[in-house]
Structure 1
Amino acid sequence: MKRPDLKSLDFAALWRGLTQPDPSGSDRIVPPTGFTAQLTLFSAAAMAFLAVFALALALATGRLADRWSDELAQSVTIRVSAPADQIDDQVATVMEVLKSTPGITDARPLPADEVEKLLEPWFGPDVPVEALPVPRLIELSGLTREFDANALSLRLEGEASGAVLDDHTRWRQPLVSAASRLRTLGLFSLLLIAAASGAMITLAAKAALAANGQVIKVLRLIGARDITIATAFVRRFTRRAAMGAAAGTLVGILAILALPGVDDAGGFLTGLGFQGWGWILPLLIPVVAAGIGFVATRWAALKMLREVR
């Protein structure tokens, strides 16, 4: 093994650069430029940008699942099917039953124009509702905890045989389940982003250590401990990870703000973005990135220094 040229190195400058930050805030034994610096900054910025969108997706789908669950749970429909000469009597009977049913704030038969709007996606505009054998619909809203769908269904079977209660369970469960799975996918994406960031920073730190092998040997000769050498790399790469993540987070937030709102998107239900306290969460991404950089660089540096003696 070739012995390092000790005469060409300034021991005092090396030791000061290792143990004390210089006025510019850089650690002298770690190269301030080169592909490792660019790799760390770029990977941290890119992963932070993706993390903003993954976080926004997780929060938006969570809101979506809660909204769908609440809205559909608070709305129940009764479908009344009977011959034309009996349907008005059936509707009147159902309304009398609903008046004595606890937990119902409002109940009203849907007028023909609203039924026409419901049928429009399938039959087109100007549907002749009066000429079609369309069941009468009664909408129940503002339901409270006292409402018992099973008890009401049994009463309708006994007093109005043509009335069927629909609490939208068939529609609600798949929608809520899909939104919940999207939220889980968003959280899982955050974990993958964090793991990928740690891997990239680890590779960059190992490359920097390998490039400074001669300097590390000299520092060991003058008595520097491995933990002291590793600290210099940890400071630099933690700072780079935080700076890159801050830039990526800023660009991600600006991109989220540039997205059209729910109304502008033509009723796009997810409303991808942050609301209320949720705006605090993306600001934590640079802090998390710095923590990942610290742990990854410290582990990589100490492991590599133990292997290279």
Structure 2
Amino acid sequence: MTGRDLKSLELSALWRGLTRPDSAGTDRVVPPTGFTAQLTVFAAAAMAFLAVFALALALATGRLAERWSTELGQSATIRVSAPQDQIDDQTVTVMEVLKTTPGIAGSRLLPDAEVEKLLEPWFGPDVPVEALPIPRLIEVIEAKEGFDADALRLRLQGEAPGAVLDDHTRWRQPLVRAAGRLKVLGLFSLVLIAAASGAMITLAAKAALAANGQVIRVLRLIGARDITIATAFVRRFTRRAAMGAAIGTGLGMIAVWALPAADDAGGFLTGLGFQGWGWFWPLLIPAVAAVIGFGATRSAALRMLREVR
């Protein structure tokens, strides 16, 4: 047996060892350590961490827009501004008008304590409400069928000239629109994060392919097809992407859980986070990262193998 024949037998044995069923598969040709492995895991973890917050933002703003649209859409406020000797009579008149107005489920006069709380952010605590010329505020609860705001305004103008109806439309719609745009921004951020993850994994896969050029040439000599070689890198990088994304998702969910509640933050936050079944949505991030890793690595590997012959 010549030396060339012996070399061929050794290469064939190597290929059979790499592809035998009880082994780790052809992905054994990919180095298990190195900067490509660290880069892939770190990039997947960082992007998954950011994806958790982007998803939390999208869900929170969606809930906020829905709450503003439903709750504020079924409420209105009547402000009674009149001289001191007439304000009590006009307030009683307004309450009687509301009782006979179709589409109104109920109404109540805000007590001084609630008015004081509304003024506290501007004037501080212990506001002397009784000593200030503050108008009376009446909260109106709208029924499901709604009421005719224009007709109510005309009726109030005739019976209580100092009463002004505010159905919150002027400032509710911009808030709902802003919350909707924030939701779109959160979803768009998820798309950008997915694209950035794919780009980073593609670069790592290309670096691994370039670093293993000699191994690839040997595999081709013993009859390995490009799809088989690409599968080796796809398997390894898919696992790395999924593992990194799982780590980042776990850290992101812990960080979101640790955020203070809206009440604890003095109303500054709008409930950023997940609620109920919403906590299951981030669990999809590792699976999505694995799909992105599979597609990015497969595309990069096949394209690079076609270019390098």
Whether TM-score is above 0.5 comes out as: yes
Matched residue type, 1:262: A
Aligned to 2:222: 222
Q: CA deviation at 1:250?
A: 1.2
- Counting matched residue pairs gives 304
Aligned to 1:59: 59
Q: Which moved more, 1:92-101 or 1:167-176?
A: 167-176
- The normalised TM-score by structure 1 is 0.90
CA distance in 1, matches of 2:9, 2:207: 22
> Do the aligned partners of 2:156 and 2:163 also contact (CA within 8 Å) in 1?
yes
> Do the aligned partners of 1:206 and 1:301 also contact (CA within 8 Å) in 2?
yes
Distance 1:250 1:122, change over 3 A: closer
> Do the aligned partners of 2:77 and 2:138 also contact (CA within 8 Å) in 1?
yes
Aligned to 1:50: 50
Report matched runs for 1:40-119 at 5 Å.
40-119=40-119
Q: CA deviation at 1:195?
A: 0.6
Q: Which moved more, 1:287-296 or 1:220-229?
A: 220-229
Matched, 1:275 2:255: no
Matched, 1:263 2:257: no
| Greater helix proportion | 2
CA distance in 2, matches of 1:57, 1:242: 23
> Do the aligned partners of 1:26 and 1:32 also contact (CA within 8 Å) in 2?
no
Identity %: 81
Aligned to 1:3: none
CA distance in 1, matches of 2:158, 2:118: 29
Aligned to 2:238: 238
> Do the aligned partners of 2:46 and 2:248 also contact (CA within 8 Å) in 1?
yes
Alpha-carbon deviations, 1:147-198, whole Å to 9, x = none? 2323222222233222110012233223222222221221111111111110
CA distance in 2, matches of 1:91, 1:205: 74
CA distance in 1, matches of 2:241, 2:60: 27
Q: CA deviation at 1:13?
A: 4.7
CA distance in 1, matches of 2:119, 2:265: 23
Q: CA RMSD in A?
A: 2.2
Q: CA deviation at 1:215?
A: 1.7
CA distance in 2, matches of 1:291, 1:125: 55
Matched, 1:163 2:175: no
Distance 1:38 1:26, change over 3 A: farther
CA distance in 2, matches of 1:260, 1:118: 23
Distance 1:59 1:306, change over 3 A: same
Matched residue type, 2:280: I
> Do the aligned partners of 1:62 and 1:180 also contact (CA within 8 Å) in 2?
yes
Classify the secondary structure of the residue corresponding to 1:28: helix
Q: Which moved more, 1:13-22 or 1:131-140?
A: 13-22
Q: Which moved more, 1:147-156 or 1:223-232?
A: 147-156
Classify the secondary structure of the residue corresponding to 1:32: coil
Q: Which moved more, 1:34-43 or 1:125-134?
A: 125-134
Q: CA deviation at 1:120?
A: 2.9
Alpha-carbon deviations, 1:247-306, whole Å to 9, x = none? 111111122222223333333442221111211111000100000000000000010011
> Do the aligned partners of 1:41 and 1:244 also contact (CA within 8 Å) in 2?
yes
Alpha-carbon deviations, 1:189-234, whole Å to 9, x = none? 1111111110011011111111111221222222221111111111
What runs of 5+ residues in structure 2 fail to find an aligned partner?
1-5
CA distance in 2, matches of 1:38, 1:21: 28
Classify the secondary structure of the residue corresponding to 2:79: strand
- The normalised TM-score by structure 2 is 0.90
Matched residue type, 2:194: A
Q: CA deviation at 1:83?
A: 2.1
Matched, 1:305 2:301: no
